Amino acid sequence: MTGPATGWRPDGWDVRVRLGVLTPQGDVGPESELRAMAPADVGLHAARVPFGAMRQGGAMDPTIPLAPVRDFAAPPHVDGAAGRLAVAPLAAIAYAFTSSAYVIGAQGEADMIARLSARAHGLPVVATCAAAVGALRAAGAARVCLVDPPWFDAALNGLGRAYYEAAGFEVCFSAPCALPSDQARIRPGDLHDWVAGHVPDRAEAVVIGGNGLRAVG
CATH number of the domain to which 194 belongs? 3.40.50.12500
How far are the Cα atoms of 40, 72, 175, 195 from residue 117, in angstroms, in the given order? 26, 16, 32, 34
End-to-end CA gap in the chain: 31
Distances (CA, A) of 19 to 45, 80, 156: 6, 17, 29
Domain count, the chain: 1
Contacts of 173 (CB under 8 A, 6+ apart): 145, 146, 198, 199, 200, 203
Is residue 10 in some structural domain? no
**Does residue 184 form part of some domain?**
yes
Q: Let me know if residue 121 belongs to a domain.
A: yes
Q: Which domain holds residue 204?
A: 17-208
In a domain, 6, yes or no: no
The answer to whether residue 215 is domain-embedded is no
For the chain, 217 residues long, give each residue's pLDDT as a single digit of tens.
Answer: 334 444 445 455 789 999 999 999 988 889 999 999 999 999 999 999 999 877 887 777 789 999 999 999 999 999 999 999 999 999 999 999 999 999 999 999 999 999 999 999 999 999 999 999 999 999 999 999 999 999 999 999 999 999 999 999 999 999 999 999 988 899 999 999 999 999 999 999 999 999 889 999 7
CB 100 within 8 A of CB 109: yes
Identify whether 201 is part of a domain: yes
Structural domain includes residue 186: yes
In-domain check, residue 63: yes
Q: Is 106 helix (H, G, I), strand (E, B) or coil?
A: helix
